[in-house]
């Protein structure tokens, strides 16, 4: 007989599946190529320490290197600032932060929480479809009609990408000794809002009961 369009907006909270730590390491080296950054002693020692808590070398990316020169001149030995990204799972985070806190030449700049948006959108969209069908049944019944099928459906979903600033972490870390897991008294994770918008065109027909 015709179509009944229903639009549903559904919000859910989803937990982070892991995090990427943005880290700056200060070192003394004559190396001047990003490709050689992992050969710097300080970075090599950090990579070895992280391996003890289950972080493989493949989870550590060198994202930049800055050479600090003296009066604009390249010296035989100069300070090198190397930026790294370290991918960790939630359960690894306390151990990793404990190792980072024990390193005085290191600063944690940011924690970037990671989410499996696609997987979360599947169940959220299924919930939205059930809501849309309930609404369509109610509206159709009020109009003396009944839902007999679906002509079309489309969905979109979105979520913010939060980053937690950690500017004070380096100063606090210098007061810590050793590489014990960093205990914040809470689960180290994050959650965010996933928003789903679903539009469904339901096919409706005369309700035989009326």
User: What three-state secondary structure class fits 26?
Assistant: strand
Q: What percent of the chain stands above pLDDT 70?
A: 75
Domain extents for the chain? 17-114+161-183
- Residue 146: how many other CB atoms lie within 10 Å: 19
Is residue 158 within 8 A of residue 195, CB to CB? The reply is: yes
Is residue 17 within 8 A of residue 190, CB to CB? The reply is: no
- Residue 210: how many other CB atoms lie within 10 Å: 9
Phi-psi region of 54 (alpha: psi -120 to 50; beta: other; left: phi over 0): left
R_g of the chain computed on alpha carbons? 26
Q: Tell me, what's the pLDDT at 174?
A: 42
Which are the contacts of 191, defined by CB distance < 8 A and separation ≥ 6?
A: 13, 14, 15, 16
- Residue 153: how many other CB atoms lie within 10 Å: 15
Measure CA 92 to chain center: 15
The phi and psi torsions of 147 (rounded to 5 degrees) equal -80, 130
Is residue 63 within 8 A of residue 35, CB to CB? The reply is: no
Instruction: Give the E-state strand segments of 90-190 in sequence order.
Output: 106-114, 145-158, 163-165
pLDDT tens digits, 50-97: 999 999 999 999 998 877 665 555 555 567 888 999 999 988 998 999
Q: What angle do CA 123, 126, 131 make, to 5 degrees?
A: 130
Higher pLDDT, 126 or 31: 126
CATH topology (fold) of 17-114+161-183 = Alpha-Beta Plaits (3.30.70)
How does residue 175 score in pLDDT terms, banded at 50, 70 and 90? very low
Q: Tell me, what's the pLDDT at 36?
A: 52
């Amino acid at each position: 007989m015709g179509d009944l369009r229903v639009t549903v907006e559904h919000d859910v909270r989803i937990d982070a599946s892991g995090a990427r730590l943005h880290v700056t390491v200060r070192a003394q080296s004559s190396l001047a190529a990003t490709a050689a950054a992992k050969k710097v002693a300080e970075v090599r020692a950090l990579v070895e320490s992280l391996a003890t808590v289950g972080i493989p070398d493949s989870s550590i990316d060198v994202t930049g290197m800055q050479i600090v020169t003296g009066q604009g001149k390249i010296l035989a030995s100069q300070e090198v600032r190397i930026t790294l990204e370290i991918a960790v799972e939630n359960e690894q985070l306390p151990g990793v932060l404990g190792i980072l806190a024990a390193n005085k030449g290191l600063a944690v700049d940011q924690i970037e929480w990671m989410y499996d948006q696609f997987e979360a959108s599947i169940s959220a969209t299924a919930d939205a479809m059930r809501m849309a069908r309930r609404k369509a049944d109610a509206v159709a019944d009020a109009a003396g009609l009944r839902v007999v099928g679906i002509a079309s459906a489309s969905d979109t979903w979105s979520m913010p990408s939060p980053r937690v600033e950690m500017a004070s972490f380096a100063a606090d870390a210098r007061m810590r000794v050793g590489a014990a897991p960093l205990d914040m008294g809470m689960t180290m994770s994050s959650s965010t809002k996933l928003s789903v918008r679903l539009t469904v065109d339901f096919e409706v027909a005369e309700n035989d009961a009326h």
